[in-house]
Chains A and B, each alone.
Chain A
Amino acid sequence: MEMRRVSGWFTLKGKSINSIAYSFHRLTGMVLLLYLIAHLSFLTSLRIGEETYTAFISTTVRPETLPLDSLLFLATFYHAFNGLRVVLNEFGLLYEVRKALIYVMTLLALIFWLYSTYMMYVFVTGW
């Protein structure tokens, strides 16, 4: 029963672009929460010692994990720009142009995503 209802956050049939933006915001938010927990736990290795830390870095920062980094950037920038839109709208600003704002913010997120993926590619492959 509960799970069927939670699907209401991700039901898009008959819904507008607003709901798509909302669903992605919630999805990326939860992904970023999990990432934050993983990231903070990972940093504990700094305390354990150099060897553990370096071992972690060499398994996670390499060309093979680039697609995952790219997905993380996509989630981050989507959540950031869409969040900015929500802040503006929740303060009653730009309410009338809320749909146009979704396209603008998504476009900005995509530009940041492509740029950051490119920079990450340069970073992991060496320059």
Chain B
Amino acid sequence: MSESHTRKVLEPFGWVFQMITGLLLFAFVIFHLYITHLTSHDALEYAKVVERLSNPAIKAFYWLFLASASFHAFNGLRAVLLDTDFGARNEKAVNALTMLLFLIAVVYGGLLLLAF
């Protein structure tokens, strides 16, 4: 029961969110590259990074960026694994593992962001 429900939710939402996060990442990556490499030459210095991350707007942006990127990456990995016979045999484990990795990335990254 719960297994079929998970599968039903994950497949269509995985597909839709893969597209949405993909489109968001397009803008996010460019903005990220802009603020880390194009604004000033010392943008990667420790003090500068800490200063940037203490801005709540930037913090929120990075958290959203992290959530999108890690969902896109781990859902992509899920799709790649499920494309194989190995994935088909271990479907439940693949779904659980990739989504767990996504959650770990979001929570760990969130804690890292909160530290500033």
Contacts and interface: CB of A to CB of B under 8 A. Distances in A.
Q: Is A bound to B? A: yes
Interface of A: 2, 5-6, 9, 26, 29-30, 32-33, 36, 40, 43-44, 46-47, 50, 53-54, 57, 61, 76, 80, 83-84, 87, 90, 116, 119-120, 123, 126-127
Interface residues of B, number: 34
A46 B49 contact: yes
Contact of A84 (B26, B46, B47, B76): B26
Contact of A36 (B22, B45, B70, B84): B70
A119 B38 contact: yes
Say whether chain B's binding surface is mostly helix, strand, loop, or mixed.
helix
Contacts of B47: 50
A24 to B, nearest CB: 14
Contacts of B116: 46
14 contacts: A5-B85, A29-B76, A33-B74, A50-B46, A54-B45, A80-B29, A83-B22, A84-B26, A87-B22, A87-B23, A123-B38, A123-B41, A126-B41, A127-B41
Contact of A61 (B44, B74, B86): B44
B46 A2 contact: no
A36 B73 contact: yes
Nearest to A127: B41
A34 to B, nearest CB: 9
Given A33-B73, A46-B49, A57 B44 contact: yes
Nearest to A54: B46
B10 interface: no
A5 B84 contact: yes
A123 B116 CA distance: 26
A36 B49 contact: no
Interface of B: 19, 22-23, 25-26, 29, 33, 37-38, 41, 44-47, 49-50, 66, 69-70, 73-74, 76-77, 80, 83-86, 105, 108-109, 112, 115-116
B112 A36 contact: no
Contacts of B74: 33
Contacts of A76: 29
A114 to B, nearest CB: 14
B41 A44 contact: no
